[in-house]
Amino acid sequence: MNTRRSFLTVGVGAGAAAALGTAHAAQAAQAAQATARTTPAYDIPLGIAMEGYPSAFPVRFLRLVNQGETVNMAYTDLAPTGPAPATGRTVLLLHGKNFDGGAWEPTARALAAAGHRVVVPDQVGFGRSAKPALDYGFELLAANTAALLDHLGIARADVIGHSLGGMLGVRFALEHPDRTGRLVLANPVGLEDYRELVPAHTTERLFADELANTDLAGIRAFYRSYVVHWRRAYERHVELRYRVTLGGEYPRWALASAHTYQMAYHQPVVADLPRLRLPVLLVIGQEDRAAVGKSYATPENRAKLGNFPVLGRRAAAAIPGSRLVELAGVGHLPQWEAADRFEREVLSFLRG
């Protein structure tokens, strides 16, 4: 009897251990999946249109023809998740050169929660969109953006542009004044003419330099220079930028990047600011020192570039009736570094 009891006890213990092992294995698998979602997979190549990379929002594509080439333009279109404001307007979010539409995630959520429809394109040449070797220009990107609004049946939108997206926002407002309600510029580049302090380079030189820019530590240092305090959330940008260097189509990405550099270098918007005739809000992180081509300038000229406290005040003085918000202790990413303040200022401005 005791032997039988012992046998049964051992038998039940083995079954329980097996069940416990299965449960632990399931928990380990779940933990691994959670880690995979939050830990950058730096050793996995990424397609130049971010193929397979998860998106916070559904991604759609608009087919366009640019300079004779058929291209797909990626975008997200978010419905309001909160009560519509009195204005009821759509907000268009324009990303920077070293970013994609996904960089607007916290702002997009806040705007949708405040009752706005939110449209976030990846411009052609960036993010999830096609990377053709075009003669890029802000007029072309503005025309693509207008075509997207046509496709979505949106007659008029408020525009928020960050970094290079601020340059595009200015050009969009000037090219399509009847389609632009209000304009927010978040640390926009192009508030100075880089050609005065940065030497010009051929696209071939820029392409070669971009091809060689494959060092993970260097890429992280570049993005760290944008912000005052580094946070884990910013690692997304490092991961995306590095992983595309591992893929077979990276040269195509690098060539598109070289072309869009030329666009930003040769088409500053500083001279266009006095022509703006709509409500404009400038949100300027005071620690920002970003400038197009800064690494190509001499040390003396490098020190003169990207002085956003000065550039922001000059821009506000040049834009009739504009409003300036200066954020102390904030760098190039006010929508991330000071999200609460940024969202309050933007929502107040959009309410008019």
Mean pLDDT across the chain: 90
Angle between helices 250-266 and 203-212 (to 10 degrees): 130
Q: Specify the pLDDT at position 88.
A: 61
Q: How far apart are the first and last CA of the chain?
A: 86
pTM of the model: 0.88
Q: Specify the pLDDT at position 32.
A: 40
Q: Specify the pLDDT at position 20.
A: 32
Q: Specify the pLDDT at position 9.
A: 27
Q: Specify the pLDDT at position 136.
A: 98
Strand partners, 119: 77, 92
Q: How far apart are CA 76 and CA 180, in angstroms?
A: 19
Q: Specify the pLDDT at position 277.
A: 97
Identify whether the C-beta of residue 227 lies closer than 8 Å to the C-beta of residue 332. yes
pLDDT tens sequence for the chain (352 residues): 333 322 222 333 333 333 334 334 444 444 444 334 445 678 999 999 999 899 999 999 999 999 999 999 999 999 999 886 655 689 999 999 999 999 999 999 999 999 999 999 999 999 999 999 999 999 999 999 999 999 999 999 999 999 999 999 999 999 999 999 999 999 999 999 999 999 999 999 999 999 999 999 999 999 999 999 999 999 999 999 999 999 999 999 999 999 999 999 999 999 999 999 999 999 999 999 999 999 999 999 999 999 999 999 999 999 999 999 999 999 999 999 999 999 999 999 999 8
Q: How far out from the chain centre does Cα 133 lie?
A: 21
Q: Specify the pLDDT at position 39.
A: 53
Q: What is the DSSP letter of 189?
A: S
Q: How far apart are CA 159 and CA 276, in angstroms?
A: 13
Q: How far apart are CA 290 and CA 311, in angstroms?
A: 11
Q: Which of 238, 246, 247 is nearest to 217 (CA)?
A: 238
Q: Specify the pLDDT at position 3.
A: 33
Identify whether the C-beta of residue 176 lies closer than 8 Å to the C-beta of residue 139. no
Q: Helix (H) and strand (E) counts for the chain?
A: 12, 8
Identify whether the C-beta of residue 257 lies closer than 8 Å to the C-beta of residue 264. no
CB under 8 A, 24+ apart: contacts of 276-279: 276/170, 276/173, 276/174, 276/183, 276/319, 276/320, 276/322, 277/177, 277/320, 278/173, 278/177, 278/180, 278/181, 278/182, 278/183, 279/181, 279/182, 279/183, 279/321, 279/322, 279/323, 279/349, 279/352
**What is the chain's alpha carbon radius of gyration, rounded to the nearest angstrom?**
24
For residue 88, CA distances in Å to 61, 116, 152, 181 come to: 25, 6, 16, 12
What does the pLDDT look like over 235-250, one tens digit per residue? Answer: 999 999 999 999 999 9
Q: Specify the pLDDT at position 87.
A: 58
Q: How far apart are CA 350 and CA 158, in angstroms?
A: 8
Q: Specify the pLDDT at position 85.
A: 63
What does the pLDDT look like over 303-322, one tens digit per residue? Answer: 999 999 999 999 999 999 99
Q: How far apart are CA 237 and CA 233, in angstroms?
A: 9
Q: Which two tokens stand for residue 111?
A: 């705007």
Q: How far apart are CA 43 and CA 249, in angstroms?
A: 16
What does the pLDDT look like over 38-85, one tens digit per residue? Answer: 456 789 999 999 998 999 999 999 999 999 999 999 999 999 998 866
